[in-house]
Amino acid sequence: MIMAHTYKDNALDPVTFEVLKNAFATSVDLMSEQILRTCYSFVIYSRDFSSALCDAEGNTVMQGSGDIAVHVGTLHFQCKAVLEEFAGDIYPGDVFAINDPYRGGTHLNDVSFIRPIFSEGQIIGFAQNKGHWADIGGSVPGSFDVNASTHFSEGLRITPVRVWREGVFLHDVAQLLVSNTRAPAQALGDLQAQAEATAVCEREVLRLVDKYSKATVVAAMQETQDYVERVVLKSLAGMPKGEWETVDYIDADPALGEGMVPIRIKLTLDGNGIHYDLSGSAPAVSTFLNSSYGTTHSAIYAGTKTFFPDVPLNSGFYRAVTANIGEEGSVVNAGWPHAVTGFCSGPYEKVMNGIFELWSGVMPKRAMACAFNLEYLLIGGNDGRTGSGDYFMWYDWMAGGWGGRQTKDGSSATSPVFGTGLAVQPVEGQERLNPVLTMCHEISMDSAGPGRFRGGCGVEKGGKLTQVDKTVMSYCCDRGRSVTWGVNGGLPSVPHGVWINKGAPDEKYLGATFSNVTVRSGDTFTRPSAGGGGFGDPLEREAEAVLEDVIDGYVSVERAECDYGVVIQVNDPDIDDYEINAERTAKAREWIRANRREWLQTPPEDVAKQYRDGELNVLDVIRRYGVVLDWGTGELLEKSTQQYRDSLAKRSSCYWT
């Protein structure tokens, strides 16, 4: 049963190996403890950061146990970039910075600090901390320029650069970096804090060298990687072999007009590892919703890791999981100078969710439908509350619903899969710092994708600008059209998108990605985060479960009937007195079952017209008729509708009995 040879093949005895492996994890987690307590950026404070110990070649030995998913599998690329640039010119006490997305970075906001660890005059490893700076320059506050087509308008690109030389702080270099951001003092604080954090890891590793010898520590760095590779390969032993394919979409490439942008993922299990092929994906889009090779690999690793939750992350994992991401120039392998800051809302979670779907087939006991897509709303301008009109930046992201699962409903109001440790900000903190009054931050009824196990619920958040001047709003999101999907017969949830002054005569739908829209004092705005997609046929959901959802206001009485075919009679809502009408429920379910395939064949233009005439609402259009519209004007999006119906056919209707 156990392979005695596994450790015999290695140089270290099992105790030393286990102790050092755990000590590496501690040395990296210590970095995280440190940065969490010293950072200036509220984005870092909300846990948008990661830490790693890399070996002398730049391979990751251990990544932080609480790290944000999106950085997973990028830190070794950044470390190698520093090595490529500076090999032979690296000294004890040096610290390097890099954020270059074309050298394995994520996006410009994520700045890495890398410190070599020396023993006996030789580099034995690198300590690295990567954190999301609240601003890195560029044309919009927060550096999320949706309209950017190249990195030049996205902010400061930091190719590998030395910021400390042999312990001496190079203030001129640091000044150059932070002076290209909108909040230089804050950026300088983060720069210091991150560099200090890497020193904590260095100190720990040197302590280990003192105790166990350099040779032992270096050997353990290698064996820790080998170990992880072995864990993955052994885990695959009992699994089926074969190929699985899926496609997910980004809403659109504005340069090409209407029509969703496909990201194709193929998974191959051949007994020798886990292999992905993304080479069939679309060319890079004209906006910033592209991904460079670093982040695409990150999405692949993070998506896969979700099915191997206990495996530590390091380059051993990256050896067991390989990917062909195709030629440079695609939406998942956008090279220089394509804009990539929006990768997190663009390809990243499409790849992750696509991988969830593929593995759900391989490992049904961990199956899960699509989770809501990461979204960021940015409002920046002058704060009218202060006499001096200080610059403010309301930079907001939401929790949303995760997909329904094989044995239970999806998790409601949860951080995005892109980073499950990414905390949403307290409204009271935001209101002190910004002239924005939040009017609503609550779970939205009917936001969960219906299913035998429904998705988790999404959230609605909206507010009012109190006293602002020269202020603009930008939104980095997606899935306004490529709506969060269900699987195994489950249904999609709700489309994303921001409304301005909803309900007023001048209301306007701004969509799920836009940039630099001027807003004024007194304007209101609101947007949902989607719920998760449903798992399994909603007509098979227990009526009692639907009743409970109605009592809690997760599902309305109306949608209980339309989506689940469960008819609920309202007796006295004040005391939660509702009951299931069994007879009408049986009929409703029968009727839906008999007609639902046909509904999906309804001519889309008819559906669009009924929507425009107010006869159908968004959920009817999305869930019952499978049609995608411009949710503001009601204009039919024909090509997107075709793609969307293809997805529904494959993920939902083909499972219906």
Partner 1 sequence: MSKLRVAVDAGGTFTDVCIYHEDTQQFRVTKVPSTPSNPKQAVIDGVRRGEIDLSDVELFFHGTTVATNALITRRFPKAALVTTKGFRDVIEIRDGTKDNLWDAYEDVSGPYIRRRDRFEVTERVDYAGEVVTPLDEEEARILARKLKRRGATTVAVCFINSYANAENEKRMREILEEEIPEASVSTSSDILPEIFEHDRFNTAVANTVLGPLVSDYVKQLDDELSAGGYDNDLLLLHSGGGSMTPAMAKHFPVRLAASGIAAGAIAAKHIAEQCGYQNAVGLDMGGTSTDISLIHDGELRVTKQWGVEYGHPIVFPSIEVLTVGAGGGSLAHIDIAGALRNGPQSAGADPGPACYERGGTEPTNTDANLALNRLGTVLAGGALELNREKATQVIEERVGQPLSLDTAEAAQAVIKVANANMADAVRLVSIRRGLDPRDFALIAFGGAGALHGAEVAKELGIPAVIVPPNPGVTSAMGCLLVDIQHDLSMMYTAAAESADLEDLERQFRSLEDEAVDRLRHEGVADADVVLQRGISMRYQGQWRSLQVAMGSGEASLEDAIEMFHQEHERQFSFRQNALPVEIYQLHLRAVGKTPRPEFPRSERQPGAQAEPHAHREVYFEGQWYQTPVYDRTTLPVGFEFSGPAIIDQLDSTTVVPPDTVASIDEWKNIRIQLIQSGEKA
Q: How much is the CA Rg of the chain, to the nearest whole Å? A: 25
Among 429, 522, 603, 632, binds partner 1 (CB under 8 A): 429
Min dist CB 440 to partner 1, Å, is 4
For position 199 contacting partner 1 by CB under 8 A, the verdict is yes
Residue 451 makes CB contacts below 8 A (sequence gap 6+) with: 369, 404, 486, 488, 489, 490, 491, 533, 534, 535, 536, 537, 538, 541
d(CA 514, CA 146): 6
What DSSP element (H or E) covers 440?
strand 436-443
For position 597 contacting partner 1 by CB under 8 A, the verdict is no
Hey, how many other C-beta atoms are within 10 angstroms of the C-beta on 390?
11
Kindly identify the residues of this chain, within the stretch 492-551, that bind partner 1 according to CB under 8 A: 551
Min dist CB 40 to partner 1, Å, is 6
- Dihedral sign of CA atoms 304, 306, 309, 312 in order: positive
For position 372 contacting partner 1 by CB under 8 A, the verdict is no
Min dist CB 306 to partner 1, Å, is 5
Among 139, 235, 556, 653, binds partner 1 (CB under 8 A): 235
HEC-encoded secondary structure of 443-471: ECCCCCCCCCECCCCCEEEEEEECCEEEE
For position 391 contacting partner 1 by CB under 8 A, the verdict is no
The neighbouring-strand residues paired with 525 are 463, 500
For position 576 contacting partner 1 by CB under 8 A, the verdict is yes
Reading the block at residue 264, the tokens are: 């194709």
Q: Closer CB to partner 1, residue 63 or residue 641? A: 63
Helix, strand, coil proportions of the chain in percent (round to 5)? 35, 25, 40
Residue of 564, 573, 571, 570 lying closest to 545 (CA atoms): 564
Among 402, 535, 625, 631, binds partner 1 (CB under 8 A): 402
For position 168 contacting partner 1 by CB under 8 A, the verdict is no
Q: Closer CB to partner 1, residue 325 or residue 550? A: 550
DSSP 8-state assignment for residue 398: -
What DSSP element (H or E) covers 381?
strand 376-383
Among 52, 148, 399, 636, binds partner 1 (CB under 8 A): 399
Among 405, 452, 589, 624, binds partner 1 (CB under 8 A): 405
For position 239 contacting partner 1 by CB under 8 A, the verdict is no
Kindly identify the residues of this chain, within the stretch 169-198, that bind partner 1 according to CB under 8 A: 183, 185-186, 189, 192-193, 196
Range list of H helices, 499-581: 543-551, 557-564
Q: How far apart are the first and last CA of the chain?
A: 43
Min dist CB 455 to partner 1, Å, is 13
For position 15 contacting partner 1 by CB under 8 A, the verdict is yes
DSSP 8-state assignment for residue 253: B
Do 180 and 151 meet the contact criterion of CB atoms below 8 Å apart? no
Range list of H helices, 237-346: 293-305, 315-320
Q: Closer CB to partner 1, residue 29 or residue 478? A: 29
Kindly identify the residues of this chain, within the stretch 64-103, that bind partner 1 according to CB under 8 A: 65-66, 69
Min dist CB 292 to partner 1, Å, is 24
Q: Closer CB to partner 1, residue 406 or residue 610? A: 406
Q: Closer CB to partner 1, residue 41 or residue 474? A: 41
Among 75, 79, 140, 200, binds partner 1 (CB under 8 A): 200
Q: Closer CB to partner 1, residue 66 or residue 92? A: 66
Kindly identify the residues of this chain, within the stretch 464-483, that bind partner 1 according to CB under 8 A: 466
Among 181, 412, 482, 643, binds partner 1 (CB under 8 A): 412
Q: Closer CB to partner 1, residue 61 or residue 282? A: 61
The residue count for the chain? 657
What DSSP element (H or E) covers 498?
strand 498-500
Kindly identify the residues of this chain, within the stretch 544-563, that bind partner 1 according to CB under 8 A: 551-554
Q: How many CA atoms lie within 13 A of 392 on its CB side?
A: 26
Min dist CB 366 to partner 1, Å, is 6
Stretch that binds partner 1, among 3-11, 113-121, 257-265, 517-525 (CB under 8 A): 3-11
Kindly identify the residues of this chain, within the stretch 285-324, that bind partner 1 according to CB under 8 A: 305-306, 309-310
d(CA 309, CA 318): 15
Min dist CB 2 to partner 1, Å, is 4
Q: Closer CB to partner 1, residue 291 or residue 526? A: 526
Do 227 and 81 meet the contact criterion of CB atoms below 8 Å apart? no
Q: Closer CB to partner 1, residue 149 or residue 411? A: 411
For position 587 contacting partner 1 by CB under 8 A, the verdict is no
Kindly identify the residues of this chain, within the stretch 24-43, that bind partner 1 according to CB under 8 A: 25-26, 29-30, 33-34, 36-40, 42
d(CA 293, CA 295): 6
Q: Closer CB to partner 1, residue 63 or residue 341? A: 63
Kindly identify the residues of this chain, within the stretch 435-464, that bind partner 1 according to CB under 8 A: 437-443, 459
d(CA 55, CA 224): 11
The neighbouring-strand residues paired with 238 are none
Residue type, 404: G
For position 227 contacting partner 1 by CB under 8 A, the verdict is yes
d(CA 163, CA 111): 12
Q: Closer CB to partner 1, residue 201 or residue 340? A: 201
Min dist CB 1 to partner 1, Å, is 8
Residue 7 makes CB contacts below 8 A (sequence gap 6+) with: 13, 14, 17
Bridge-based pairing of strands 498-500 and 274-277 is unpaired
Reading the block at residue 138, the tokens are: 């560029």
Min dist CB 158 to partner 1, Å, is 22
Identify the residue whose tokens are 């017969």.
489
Min dist CB 62 to partner 1, Å, is 12
The distance of Cα 504 from the centroid of its chain, to the nearest Å, equals 33
Among 91, 92, 159, 230, binds partner 1 (CB under 8 A): 230
For position 415 contacting partner 1 by CB under 8 A, the verdict is yes
Q: Closer CB to partner 1, residue 106 or residue 412? A: 412
Size of the site for partner 1 (CB under 8 A): 94
